[in-house]
């Protein structure tokens, strides 16, 4: 059976991004590697989970979103939280650029931007949502 192992995020300044992701996403560092000066990255896990997040040093910005019908953009993945308002407030207090929280009925969500301009979504599912964690069995 498949399971998401890690999410890989391209960053241009690894030291700055390490501090930013540790502060804002509360990830726990597992490993850091550098091979022949070509491949430099750091691996994290989310607290209480085994899903990994790896920051990979790149020379120039890489896209973390795609276009839908050439009009709107969509991120490749989102982060799920139990309660969206405290997460939103923490990011805003830390000076992170965010959209407003949008209410989609059974889900609430907002987007935020990291120091490299990478765009990500945060969502919170209502208990009645088919995507709520206890309904996905």
For residues 135 and 80, the model is more confident at 80
Q: Which residues of 50-66 are buried (b: 16+ CB within 10 A; e: fewer)?
A: eebbbbbbeeeeeebee
Domain count, the chain: 2
What per-residue confidence (pLDDT) applies to 2? 86
Which residue range forms the structural domain that includes residue 92? Answer: 63-137
Give pTM, 2 decimals: 0.88
* pLDDT value at residue 36: 78
Q: What pLDDT does residue 136 have? A: 76
> Distance between CA 21 and CA 68 in Å, rounded?
28
Residue with tokens 């000066």: 37
Give the pLDDT of residue 32: 95
Question: What is the average pLDDT score of the chain?
Answer: 91
| pLDDT for residue 134 is more than 80 | no
Nearest to 44 by CA among 35, 58, 33, 59: 33
Same domain, 93 and 118: yes
Statement: residue 88 has pLDDT above 80: yes
Instruction: Mark whether 47 and 74 lie in a shared domain.
Output: no
CA distances to 27, 87, 103 from 92, in Å: 18, 9, 18
- CATH code: domain of residue 111: 3.10.180.10
């Amino acid at each position: 059976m498949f399971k998401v192992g890690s999410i890989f995020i391209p960053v241009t300044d690894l030291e700055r991004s390490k501090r930013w992701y540790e502060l804002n996403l509360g990830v726990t560092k597992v490993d850091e590697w550098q091979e022949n000066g070509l491949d430099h990255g750091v691996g994290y896990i989310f607290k209480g989970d085994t899903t990994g997040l790896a920051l990979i040093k790149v020379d120039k910005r890489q896209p973390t979103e795609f276009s839908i019908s050439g009009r709107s953009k969509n991120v490749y993945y989102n982060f799920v939280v139990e309660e969206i308002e405290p997460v939103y407030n923490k990011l805003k207090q830390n000076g992170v650029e965010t959209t407003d929280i949008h209410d989609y009925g059974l889900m609430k969500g907002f987007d935020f931007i990291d120091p490299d301009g990478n765009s990500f979504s945060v969502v919170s599912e209502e208990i009645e949502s088919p995507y709520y964690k206890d309904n996905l069995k």
